[in-house]
């Protein structure tokens, strides 16, 4: 694909989110903006990006890139698919 050919480029968005929220630890690194709330709220956020033209929305399920991922978050986030 030539660099100037934008027909093959798809718009996407990446969202740092924690379904249900989390307890931030003061002084430690975290993403500057993290979406929290129930899956209904997160579905609204994802839907907003889709309405704006994003073909894919990537969910980062950790506000801290060095944190261990809670496996329960995957189950919570999977419920988003039912709402979209």
Distance (Å, rounded) from C-alpha 37 to C-alpha 56? 21
Distance (Å, rounded) from C-alpha 46 to C-alpha 19? 13
C-beta neighbour count of 17 within 10 angstroms: 28
pTM of the model: 0.72
Retrieve residue 5's tokens.
């050919």
Per-residue confidence band for 65, with pLDDT thresholds at 50, 70 and 90: low
**Cα–Cα separations (whole angstroms), residue 84 to 14, 49, 53:** 16, 12, 15
* pLDDT tens digits, one per residue of 13-46: 888 888 887 777 777 767 778 888 888 998 999 9
Per-residue confidence band for 51, with pLDDT thresholds at 50, 70 and 90: very high
Per-residue confidence band for 9, with pLDDT thresholds at 50, 70 and 90: confident
Helix axes 39-51, 71-78, angle to 10 degrees: 60
């Amino acid at each position: 694909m030539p660099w100037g050919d934008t027909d093959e480029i798809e718009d996407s968005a990446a969202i740092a989110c924690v379904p249900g929220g989390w307890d931030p630890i003061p002084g430690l690194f975290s993403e500057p903006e993290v979406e929290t709330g129930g899956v209904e709220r997160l579905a609204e956020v994802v839907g907003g990006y889709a309405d704006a033209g994003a073909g894919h929305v990537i969910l980062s399920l950790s506000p801290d890139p060095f944190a261990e991922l809670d496996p329960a978050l995957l189950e919570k986030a999977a419920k988003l698919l039912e709402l979209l």
